[in-house]
Every structure is written in structure tokens, then in C-alpha cells.
Amino acid sequence: MAPEAVERALPELPERVDVLVNNAGGNTDFPSTDNVDLKVLDAAWTANFRANLFTAALVTSAVRERIPDGGRIVTVGSIAAHTGAGSYGWAKAALEAWNIDVARYLGRRGITANIVAPGLVVDTEFFHGKLTDERRDLLIGATMTKRAGHPADIAATVRFLASPEAGHVTGQVVHCNGGAYVG
């Protein structure tokens, strides 16, 4: 997302943002390949970095003065930050480092900043219809719960982090992936 796009959208956003959920992004390099062409790699990695980190960072920076004391920032990360997933995983790992800075900077105002890191979530368009049954079964088999995640699982975790009850939880990565990654 370009800074100009964020600036154009600002007048349409509310003057007060009690809860900001950064849920834009996705894997712009899916399916990734073993391409060694440096220009192709540069484009793929830059696109994932822009889609995942820049979008969250630019929007958060643009609205941070609209977030009142005690507000909440929840960013959707991914298990891929810890399991290796090429440029997508790298971009999601960068989100985690960025989130710590946001939590530290805004914490003095009682604003919390956290990441929800899903694993496999079905009933979304993330895999662009290209998730094979074999891959799906492998990902489900890697969970302790032996089931795929659903959008409602992620929403419930976001809802908790956005609530007053989570007022002392900040700078954290909450893994909502059925135990496929424990960290």
C-alpha cells in the first residue's frame, strides 16, 4: 500500500479509532517457486513486504493520533513467521518486530498492540483455490487439535485482544493455530 493511498483514505475514516485491526496483506507470491532470478526474487519479496508490513505500519502511523488512550491495535500475523514460508514468512516475521516497537511507543498511553498468528484457516480466499487435499491434510495433521482453523477462531482471539480484559497484554504474538506452532 502506497502512502498516497492511505492519505486518500484518511478523510473517510472515523476521527476516533478505539480499535484498529490490521488485517490487510496476504501472500502475494503464492505459490512461491525456487526461482533464482534476482529481479523476480526482489519483486516477490518486496511485494510481500509492502502488502503485509507496510500496509499495517502506514495505516497505524496515519491513525495513531486518532486512537484514544487505552485503545487497541491488533494485527493479523501468521504461523509462517516461525515455520518458514519464503517472502511471506519473512514479511510476517518483520510484523512481529514492528509490533514490539508499536507496543513500546504507544504503551505509555495505555494503548496495547498485539499480533494474532493463525495457521491454516479454511473458508477464506487465502490459498486462491490452490490448496490441495494433501497439503490441507498435512497442515491439519500438524495441529494438536487435528482440525483446521475457521474465521470465527481468529475473530474470537481478535475480540479478546480488543477487549478491556486484555489491557495488560501488549507486545505479544498470540498463536491461534491449534498448536501447530507453540512459541
Lookup result for grid cell 503464492 = 30
| Parallel/antiparallel/unpaired status of strands 173-176 and 19-22 | unpaired
Residue 110's CB is within 10 A of a number of other CB atoms, namely 14
Question: Active-site residue 105, yes or no?
Answer: no
* Cα separations in angstroms, 119 against 25, 58, 106, 136, 148: 15, 25, 28, 11, 8
Catalytic residue (choose from 54, 88, 98, 181): 88
E-strand spans in 67-129?
72-76, 112-118
Angle at 22 between CA 150 and CA 79, to 5 degrees: 50
Q: How far out from the chain centre does Cα 148 lie?
A: 18
Residue 140's CB is within 10 A of a number of other CB atoms, namely 18
Enumerate the active-site residues. 88
